[in-house]
């Protein structure tokens, strides 16, 4: 059994060394368990050797103490072996190198996307306020008023997809920044890995909606900029001019966001898929080791009573 203990302690030491060198973090509860059972294995080994030597030298005649020490030593060693299997599954196939790459890539993407989406949301709100203001004005010919009404409806439709992209960006940024490496496997894992969803595809869907209604908004903006009473409206003409400029700016922002996303989507999607495949294989090994550990732990606790 000492040879098994030596191998198990060496394996645990190797895992801890690998964990220390990784650029991603593990929660203390996970690493603490490995450290605790490595320590217990050493301690129970020493106790067993001491009781055995005492029995052999004649200093003790209590064989029950040797039996208890041997059982405790065996239990601690078995638990350490279970934990080693668990950690080896977690560290297999350089999974956390992929996770670290995912982390850095998506943080960078989230920051750059946020810098593009926030101004879009601001301009949509500004446009909505102006259109509502003009809706209450008289002396606007019917064709122009119809275009303004259409622009208002379309603008309000564009809020949800814009907010959707902003929400995804915030969620990615906050979860990636706070995510501990072992949490990828647990109940707090991002939805990306739990339900097979995709950050990339989610944003692409919202962008398609924005592009579709951005075209409708642009068409309404063309009518607004050519309105017959545009130059005869006094103060209202300034607001109509602002509306026309905002619509053009919003269209350009949407095109810019779409271009940025298309440039990055391929690499990000492949990265999502690589991480999902690696996690799928690892989770199978991890779960098998975890189930064995739980069963043995239950047996051990029952044996202590």
Chain segment 81-120, per-residue pLDDT in tens: 888 877 776 676 566 666 667 677 777 888 888 899 999 9
Q: What tokens appear for 176 in the block?
A: 């990636």
Q: Are 26 and 19 in contact (CB under 8 A)?
A: yes
CA nearest to 254, candidates 224, 223, 216 = 216
pLDDT at position 243: 87
CATH code at 94-282:
1.20.900
CA atoms of 291 and 96, how far apart (whole Å) = 22
Average pLDDT, the chain: 77
Domain ranges of the chain: 2-93+290-304, 94-282
Longest CA–CA separation in the chain, Å: 115
pLDDT at position 123: 94
Q: What tokens appear for 25 in the block?
A: 């973090």
**Model confidence pLDDT, tens digit, residues 134-178:** 776 655 667 777 888 888 899 999 999 998 888 888 777 665 544
**Model confidence pLDDT, tens digit, residues 41-62:** 999 999 988 998 888 888 888 8
CA atoms of 109 and 103, how far apart (whole Å) = 10
User: What does pTM read for this prediction?
Assistant: 0.59
Q: How many residues in the chain? A: 305
pLDDT greater than 90 at residue 68: no
pLDDT at position 110: 83
> Mean pLDDT: which of 33-42, 57-66, 232-241 is highest?
33-42
């Amino acid at each position: 059994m000492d040879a098994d203990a030596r191998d198990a302690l060496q394996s645990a030491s190797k895992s801890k060394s690998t964990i220390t060198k990784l650029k991603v973090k593990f929660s203390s509860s996970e690493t603490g368990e490995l450290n605790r059972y490595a320590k217990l294995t050493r301690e129970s080994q020493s106790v067993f050797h001491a009781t055995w030597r005492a029995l052999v030298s004649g200093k003790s005649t209590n064989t029950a103490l040797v039996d208890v020490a041997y059982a405790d030593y065996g239990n601690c060693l078995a638990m350490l072996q279970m934990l080693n299997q668990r950690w080896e599954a977690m560290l297999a196939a350089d999974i956390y190198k992929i996770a670290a790459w995912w982390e850095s890539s998506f943080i960078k993407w989230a920051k750059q996307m946020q810098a593009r989406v926030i101004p879009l949301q601001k301009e949509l709100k500004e446009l909505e306020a102006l259109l509502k203001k003009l809706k209450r004005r008289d002396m606007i010919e019917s064709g122009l008023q119809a275009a303004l009404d259409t622009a208002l409806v379309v603008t309000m439709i564009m809020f949800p997809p814009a907010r959707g992209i902003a929400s995804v960006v915030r969620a990615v940024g906050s979860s990636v920044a706070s995510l501990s490496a072992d949490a990828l496997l647990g109940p707090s894992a991002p939805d990306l890995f739990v339900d097979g969803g995709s950050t990339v595809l989610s944003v692409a869907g919202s962008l398609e909606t924005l592009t579709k209604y951005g075209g409708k908004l642009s068409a309404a903006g063309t009518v607004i900029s050519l309105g017959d009473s545009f130059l005869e409206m006094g103060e209202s003409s300034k607001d109509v001019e602002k509306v026309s400029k905002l619509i053009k700016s919003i269209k350009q922002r949407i095109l810019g966001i779409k271009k940025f996303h298309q440039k990055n989507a391929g690499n990000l999607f492949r990265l999502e898929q690589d991480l999902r495949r690696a996690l799928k294989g690892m989770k199978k090994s991890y779960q098998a080791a975890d189930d064995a550990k739980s069963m043995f732990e239950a047996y051990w606790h029952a044996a202590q009573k």
